[in-house]
């Protein structure tokens, strides 16, 4: 199928909602642009609220989590860069400019989808939000989020294929000419369009950045970044090379900016095609670098894994025999099994809050990492690191530390004993 046929089909979609003579409010020249800030109360309050929550949460996290744990400096910088990008896209004169110039509108959309969204996801706002809430509310919210129904819904929504499809559908749906031009005349529709673009982009980038696991995850993430670059680039190319005007609503306002309506449309297509494509290329390269680092780590660990499969009993005996007497004694006192504990940790979703060696996907930083916990003097800074104290903490953390964000686990006593047994095998820092 030729490009002319594709663009012709796209152009001749019904445009009854976008008659060329319709008036659009917005700045009509450079002198009007600089004063045309968009002070929508809902948008401004939402931005201020998110800034306050993140600032409060990140400050409390740094104050309460010792030894540099918690949000890292570059993650905080990513969030604030993404937040400022939102301000530019939604509050600055760029927003009303997009009402009268198609290329400015495309710039706004790309800032939302390929700049603000990934930067905010890299900033880990959920972690900061939990620490911004009162301790009881944070524990209750964490408990609800770990419920089987919520976890199932979130797991389905952040499946890379689902997130990719939702984002692609939102992009193409709102660029159908009647719908796109209707947003220029209806503020509620315009807000809905931005929520669709920004929300689906957040979902897409979260699924790629935080949802991957291992070699397979890196490969899938690169695939979806590449295909997103292809279909967004195709839309940009259609807008760039179309010989006729697709969005007539701008034909009365584009000349105010020394552009013909067709030139404005072509410039908007280039903005969607080239700068946004470069962002996707950079994201794919970053994922590829992570893939290579992961492969190197796996290769370094391959021979111990083979040895463990060959002589598992010998390794177990060496581990118990060479471990410190107090650690071996603690494992015995728990009357639990380390392997059963490892499985119980995975079932309970402890990896959603902690980094835990030996547990797949346990790389979270809401709580302190449990690396080397067997060597620590205290549990959560309040209980002596003894087997029975560990078990009591796992069964009811709130009764020992009312300020903890750790939710009620709902573990049975035997599960707590098994988890304690596993944690006491974590000796290396």
234 and 86 in a common domain: yes
Asked whether residue 229 falls in the same domain as residue 377, the answer is no
Number of structural domains found in the chain: 2
For residue 74, being part of any structural domain is answered with: yes
Domain housing 143: 13-297
Would residue 7 count as lying in a domain? no
Q: Which two tokens stand for residue 19?
A: 């008659």
Tell me how far the alpha carbon of residue 162 is from its chain's centroid: 14
**Polymer length in residues for the chain:** 429
Asked if residue 429 is part of any domain, the answer here is no
Verify that 156 and 205 share a domain, yes or no.
yes
Same domain, 96 and 222: yes
User: Based on the domain organization, do 341 and 289 belong to the same domain?
Assistant: no
- Assess contact for 349 and 151: CB atoms under 8 A: yes
Q: What does each of the 429 residues of the chain score in pLDDT, given as a tens digit?
A: 444 444 444 444 443 333 333 446 778 888 888 888 989 999 999 999 999 999 999 888 877 664 445 678 899 999 999 999 999 999 999 999 999 999 999 999 999 999 999 999 999 898 888 888 887 787 788 778 777 888 888 888 888 899 999 999 999 999 999 999 999 889 899 999 999 999 999 999 999 888 754 445 778 889 999 999 999 999 999 999 998 999 999 999 999 999 999 999 999 999 999 999 999 999 999 888 878 876 666 565 455 544 444 444 444 434 444 444 444 554 566 777 777 888 888 777 777 677 888 787 666 666 677 877 777 767 776 677 777 778 887 877 766 666 666 766 678 888 888 888 888 788 766
3 inside domain: no
27 and 98 share a domain? yes
C-alpha to C-alpha distance for 98 and 105, rounded to whole angstroms: 4
Domain boundary among 297, 331, 349: 297
From CA 398, how far away is CA 403, in angstroms rounded? Answer: 8
Q: How many CB atoms lie within 10 A of CB 172?
A: 13
- On whether both 386 and 345 belong to a single domain, the answer is yes
| Residue whose token pair is 């010998």 | 314
Residue 76 lies in a domain: yes
44 and 103 in one domain?
yes
**What pLDDT is stored for residue 177 in this prediction?**
94
Q: Based on the fold, state whether residues 280 and 366 are members of the same structural domain.
A: no
CA distance 420 to 406: 16
CB atoms within 10 A of CB 331: 23
Task: State pTM to two decimals.
Answer: 0.69
Give dist(CA 406, CA 367) in Å, integer: 8
31, burial (CB in 10 Å: exposed 0-12, middle 13-18, buried 19+): exposed
Q: Is residue 1 part of a domain?
A: no
The alpha helices in 175-324, defined as continuous H runs, are 177-183, 187-209, 214-241, 261-310, 312-322
Residues 230, 180 share a domain? yes
Residue 19 lies in a domain: yes
């Amino acid at each position: 199928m030729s490009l002319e046929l594709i663009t012709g089909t796209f152009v001749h979609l019904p445009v009854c909602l976008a008659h060329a003579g319709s008036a659009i409010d917005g700045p009509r020249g450079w002198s009007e642009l600089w004063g045309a800030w968009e002070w929508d109360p809902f948008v401004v309050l939402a931005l201020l609220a998110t800034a306050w929550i993140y600032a409060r949460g990140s400050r409390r996290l740094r104050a309460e989590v010792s030894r540099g744990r918690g949000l890292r400096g570059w993650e905080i910088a990513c969030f604030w860069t993404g937040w400022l990008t939102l301000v530019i896209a939604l509050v600055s004169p760029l927003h009303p400019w997009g009402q009268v110039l198609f290329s400015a509108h495309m710039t706004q959309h790309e800032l939302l989808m390929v700049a603000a969204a990934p930067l905010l996801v890299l900033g880990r706002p959920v972690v900061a939000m939990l620490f911004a809430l009162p301790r009881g509310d944070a524990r209750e919210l964490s408990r609800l989020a770990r419920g089987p129904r919520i976890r199932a819904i979130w797991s389905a929504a952040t499946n890379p294929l689902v997130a990719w499809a939702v984002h692609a559908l939102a992009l193409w749906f709102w660029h159908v000419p009647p719908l796109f031009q209707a947003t220029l005349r209806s503020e509620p529709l315009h807000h809905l369009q931005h929520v669709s673009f920004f929300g689906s982009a957040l979902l897409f980038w979260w699924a790629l950045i935080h949802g991957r696991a291992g070699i397979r995850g890196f490969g899938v993430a690169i695939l979806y970044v590449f295909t997103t670059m292809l279909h967004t680039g195709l839309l940009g190319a259609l807008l760039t090379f179309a010989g006729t005007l697709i969005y007539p609503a701008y034909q009365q306002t584009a000349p105010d900016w020394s552009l013909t309506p067709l030139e404005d449309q072509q410039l908007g297509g280039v903005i969607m095609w080239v700068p946004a494509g470069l962002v996707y290329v950079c994201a794919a390269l970053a994922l590829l670098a992570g893939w290579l680092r992961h492969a190197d780590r796996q290769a370094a660990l391959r021979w111990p894994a083979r040895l463990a499969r060959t002589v598992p009993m010998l390794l177990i005996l060496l581990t118990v025999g060479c471990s410190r007497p107090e650690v071996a004694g603690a494992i015995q006192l728990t009357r639990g099994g380390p392997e059963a504990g490892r499985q119980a940790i995975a079932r309970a979703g402890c990896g959603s809050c902690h980094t835990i060696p030996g547990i797949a996907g346990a790389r979270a930083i809401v709580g302190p990492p449990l690396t080397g916990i067997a060597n620590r003097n205290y549990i959560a800074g309040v209980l002596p690191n003894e087997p029975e104290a560990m078990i009591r903490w796992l069964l009811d953390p709130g009764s020992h530390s009312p300020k903890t964000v750790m939710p009620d686990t709902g573990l049975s006593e035997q599960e707590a004993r098994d988890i304690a047994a596993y944690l006491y095998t974590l000796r290396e820092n």
